[in-house]
């Protein structure tokens, strides 16, 4: 089955092929024939299952076929999403498709000045990709009129329900023509979503693929049972291995504190949570995308809204409260058919909660008792040579700004972290493969190199099995503060 077989126009198929996308995912194969035919569609699929192209392709095809010009203040298509990061990523995926069809677009969300958004709407755009709050503000000011909307998309509808956005979504949807096409995508379908479906979708076709309740086969789940004071040293070891890592904490304070601890220990890290300004969030995500920061420490704001390729490892530094959050957090890895590893850190007092959590999530993790960062299971779960960068990624917080700016420090931008498959000849010996591809190779030995370190940015490499403190304090941390209760 190809995209052309599903009815995708040849011009869009070419754009996908240029990006190496040739085979539809299950949710795309299920929904595209109906959505391209103009029917209302209700699609259920996990985050990372390919829902974005599942709605972008029919949206662009429909607008291109109708050949209507962009009108001042009256967009022709609307995509609603729950987070600013997700809005930005949808916009990035849309850009090459829109360019091929000659369509214009704008992102609309809060946390930044509204003037550029107002200017774009006044000039006229075909597609608006928006968070509900800011869009309602602009509608109330008379800058956006939804009476000409031909197709409306609700992405991550269940997450919008969780965040309390549904009243605003209903008010926005009420301003779109009933005759327009409507596509609703969600990882789960519950009563809140059913209200939207009954009110706004006309004879919808329902398709399910890659349900959020069914764990990904290529995702390997592990629980590390350890003492409270060993959590930071173990995290330093895991995150200093090659590849991208996302670490989840339960609170915004916890994310900030843990990012600071990891940087101090030599792991270039950035944070993502609700206390950051939009500029800081964008800057931190760019650092993570570019590789100048190899670890992202986040609250649940990132569980659905962040789409980053090649995340080999997800760590629940604080186990989430509910199983849906566990599945959505874990969905940052094992995307698009790739393998990935999910690790939950569990202390004695969390044993019962984690057992209940994994049972409800439908997974059977491998549990290992870990007495510190020297345990051999760590190099099996995160293969490769451990690399510490003096100073990590230096993080500066402007006084009173409530936001963080990050700049590379201690050579963070110039370090070279090999993504070698770990073998019995020592971690990091074979280049060119991601850490996720190195799973199951037996871990191998952690190699120790002398390395160099200087204020101008040299690297520090150490054996992952080394005990005792490093000059960065990586082993000196004891009781961590990132799991303080709310």
Contact (Cβ atoms closer than 8 angstroms) between residue 328 and residue 215: no
Residues 198 and 225 in one domain: no
Task: Examine the fold and report which residue of 208, 242, 269 is the final residue of a domain before the chain moves on.
Answer: 208
> Does 480 map to a domain?
no
Q: How far apart are CA 221 and CA 357, in angstroms?
A: 13
pLDDT at 187 over 90: no
Q: What's the rounded mean pLDDT across residues 181-192?
A: 84
> Does 484 map to a domain?
no
Tens-digit pLDDT profile for residues 204-248:
999 887 544 444 445 789 999 999 999 999 999 999 999 889 999
Among candidate residues 15, 57, 67, the one with its CA nearest the CA of residue 36: 57
pLDDT of residue 158: 83
Structural domain count of the chain: 2
Residues 281 and 140 in one domain: no
Residues 279 and 424 in one domain: yes
Q: What's the rounded mean pLDDT across residues 77-92?
A: 92
Residues 201 and 228 in one domain: no
> Does 124 map to a domain?
yes
> DSSP string of 318-381?
S--SSHHHHHHHHTTSS-TT--EEEEEEE-GGGHHHHHHHHHHHT--PEEEE--STT-THHHHH
Q: Which pLDDT band, with edges at 50, 70 and 90, does 433 fall under?
A: very low
Task: Examine the fold and report which residue of 164, 187, 208 is the final residue of a domain before the chain moves on.
Answer: 208
pLDDT of residue 111: 84
Residues 191 and 234 in one domain: no
Q: Cα-flanking dihedrals φ and ψ of residue 30, to 5°?
A: -75, -40
pLDDT of residue 209: 73
Tell me the angle at which helices 132-140 and 166-174 cross, rounded to the nearest 10 degrees: 40
C-alpha 34 chain-centroid distance: 28
Among 121-135, 193-207, 298-312, name the one with the lowest average pLDDT: 298-312
Indicate the pTM of the whole model: 0.57
Tens-digit pLDDT profile for residues 140-157:
999 999 999 999 999 988
pLDDT of residue 277: 84
Task: Examine the fold and report which residue of 208, 237, 253 is the final residue of a domain before the chain moves on.
Answer: 208
63: helix, strand or coil? helix
> Does 276 map to a domain?
yes
Residues 90 and 173 in one domain: yes
C-alpha 210 chain-centroid distance: 17
Residue 225 is part of a domain; what is its CATH number? 3.40.50.300
pLDDT of residue 115: 96
Tens-digit pLDDT profile for residues 271-285:
998 888 878 888 898
pLDDT of residue 296: 93
pLDDT at 39 over 80: yes
> Does 468 map to a domain?
no
Structural domain containing residue 127:
10-208
Contact (Cβ atoms closer than 8 angstroms) between residue 130 and residue 107: yes
Please report, for the chain, how many H helices and E strands are present, in that order.
16, 20
> Does 406 map to a domain?
yes
Residues 274 and 168 in one domain: no
pLDDT at 442 over 90: no
- E-assigned strand segments in 408-457: 421-423, 426-430
Residues 364 and 413 in one domain: yes
Q: What's the rounded mean pLDDT across residues 192-215?
A: 77
The Cα angle at residue 57 between residues 51 and 60, in degrees rounded to 5: 135
For residue 233, give Cα distances in angstroms to 6, 186, 247, 355, 470.
Answer: 50, 37, 14, 24, 11
Buried-state track 185-218, b at ≥16 Cβ within 10 A, e below 16: bbbbbeeebeebbeebbeebbbbebbbbeebbee
Q: Cα-flanking dihedrals φ and ψ of residue 229, to 5°?
A: -75, -10
> Does 262 map to a domain?
yes
Residues 249 and 311 in one domain: yes
pLDDT of residue 47: 63
Average pLDDT, the chain: 78
Residues 426 and 389 in one domain: yes
Residues 199 and 321 in one domain: no
Q: What's the rounded mean pLDDT across residues 35-45?
A: 92
> Does 277 map to a domain?
yes
Residues 143 and 95 in one domain: yes
């Amino acid at each position: 089955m190809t995209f052309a077989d599903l009815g995708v126009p040849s011009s869009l198929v070419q754009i996908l092929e240029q990006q190496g996308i040739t085979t539809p995912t299950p949710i795309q194969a299920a929904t595209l024939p109906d959505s391209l035919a103009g029917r209302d569609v209700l699609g259920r699929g996990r985050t990372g299952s390919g829902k974005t192209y599942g709605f972008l392709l029919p949206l662009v095809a429909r607008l291109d076929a109708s050949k209507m010009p962009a009108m001042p203040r009256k967009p022709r298509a609307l995509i609603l999403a729950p987070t600013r990061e997700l809005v930005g990523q949808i916009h990035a995926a849309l850009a090459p498709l829109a360019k091929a069809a000659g369509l214009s677009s704008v992102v609309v969300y809060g946390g930044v000045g509204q003037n550029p958004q107002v200017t774009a709407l006044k000039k006229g755009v075909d597609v608006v990709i928006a968070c509900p709050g800011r869009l309602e503000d602009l509608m109330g000011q008379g800058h956006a009129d939804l009476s000409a909307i031909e197709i409306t998309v609700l992405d991550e509808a269940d997450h919008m329900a969780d965040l309390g956005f549904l009243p605003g979504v209903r008010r926005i949807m009420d301003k779109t023509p009933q005759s327009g096409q409507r596509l609703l995508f969600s990882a789960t379908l519950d009563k809140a979503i059913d209200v939207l479906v009954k009110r706004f979708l006309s004879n919808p076709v329902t398709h399910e693929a890659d349900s959020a309740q069914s764990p990904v086969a290529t995702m390997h789940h592990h629980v590390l049972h350890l003492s409270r004071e060993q959590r930071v040293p173990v995290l330093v070891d895991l995150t200093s291995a090659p590849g991208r890592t996302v670490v989840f904490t339960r609170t915004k304070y916890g994310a900030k504190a843990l990012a600071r601890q990891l940087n101090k220990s030599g792991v270039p890290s950035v944070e993502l949570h609700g206390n950051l300004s939009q500029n800081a969030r964008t800057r931190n995500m760019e650092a993570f995308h570019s590789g100048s920061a190899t670890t992202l420490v986040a609250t649940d704001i990132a569980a659905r809204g962040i789409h980053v390729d090649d995340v080999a490892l997800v760590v629940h530094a604080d186990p989430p409260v509910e199983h849906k959050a566990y599945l959505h957090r874990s969905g940052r890895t094992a995307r698009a058919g790739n393998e990935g590893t999910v690790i939950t850190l569990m202390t004695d007092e969390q044993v019962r909660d984690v057992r209940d959590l994994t049972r409800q999530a439908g997974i059977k993790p491998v549990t290992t008792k870990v007495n510190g960062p020297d345990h051999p299971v760590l190099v099996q779960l995160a293969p490769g040579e451990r690399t510490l960068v003096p100073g990590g990624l230096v993080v500066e917080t402007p006084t009173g700004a409530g936001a963080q700016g990050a700049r590379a420090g201690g050579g963070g931008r110039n370090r070279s972290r090999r993504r070698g498959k770990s073998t019995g000849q020592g971690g990091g010996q074979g280049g060119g493969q991601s850490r996720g591809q190195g799973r199951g190779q037996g871990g191998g030995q952690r190699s120790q190199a002398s390395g160099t370190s200087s204020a101008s940015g040299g690297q520090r490499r150490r054996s992952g099995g080394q005990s005792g403190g490093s000059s960065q304090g990586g082993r000196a941390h004891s009781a961590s503060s990132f799991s303080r209760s709310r």
